[in-house]
Amino acid sequence: MALPEAPPARADAVRRARWLNAATIGWNGIEGVVAIAAGLVAGSVSLVGFGFDSAIEVSAALVLTWRLAQERREGCTQTADATATKAIAVSFAALAAYVSVVAAREHATGSEPEASLPGVVLAALSLVVMPFLARAKARLAPVLGSTAAAADAAQTNLCALLSAVVLVGVGANWLLGWWWADPVAGLGIAALAAVEAGRTWRADALADTCCGPPLASTNGSC
């Protein structure tokens, strides 16, 4: 039986986290523009919400970039990590509020979105890419000792879940003409984002890593 892969050294983890952030920003920047454009053309609340989630994913990656830059300048600081984590939680809450209002309005008015083949293709591609990025980020978070990194990984994992929700909603409208599946998918996006907002806001520091009390009290820094 193969032995578990050893965690990367901290310096290598920071470097890899920076590369993953760059990949996240690049992919989600394109994904957000395409999703919002396709959603506006089709009148799809789930696609527009998915596009805004991509924008928030970019913002979370930028927050984590700031967090890693703080470490490079000042060492591994719990204050910077806590600030970054709260900022990511707020981004989840903003997404949940926006999408829930728009999805509920669209469902109540019976606004029927058009079928969107670009939306189906985009959601399918994201469903392939996002889980890979989420797993890579989640593995690095304990090595970094960062709840901000863990929150960013959760945001990426949420994006993967949203890809599946959007794929079902937009696909059902495209293939079966079920217009109501789109606002229902939007409400699903809002619910997942709200749960993640609360979870991220309440997150504690990772105590068993470089930034945690045991090691911090021993050597004072990373």
Highest mean pLDDT among 71-75, 97-101, 118-122, 189-193: 118-122
Measured in residues, the chain has a length of 222
pLDDT at 210 over 60: no
C-alpha–C-alpha distance, residues 5 and 18, integer Å: 21
**Which residues, in sequence order, are CB contacts of 85 under 8 Å at separation 6+?**
147, 148, 151, 200, 201, 203
**Mean model confidence pLDDT for the chain:** 75
Question: Does the pTM of the predicted model rise above 0.85?
Answer: no
At 74, is the pLDDT very low, low, confident or very high (cuts 50, 70, 90)?
low
Q: What is the pLDDT of residue 214?
A: 36
DSSP 222: -
Name the class of domain 10-203: mainly alpha
Q: Over the stretch 25-54, which tens digit does the pLDDT of each residue have?
A: 899 899 889 999 988 888 887 788 788 878
Contact (Cβ atoms closer than 8 angstroms) between residue 96 and residue 162: no
Average pLDDT over residues 97-112: 72
Q: What are phi and psi of 75, to 5 degrees?
A: 90, 180
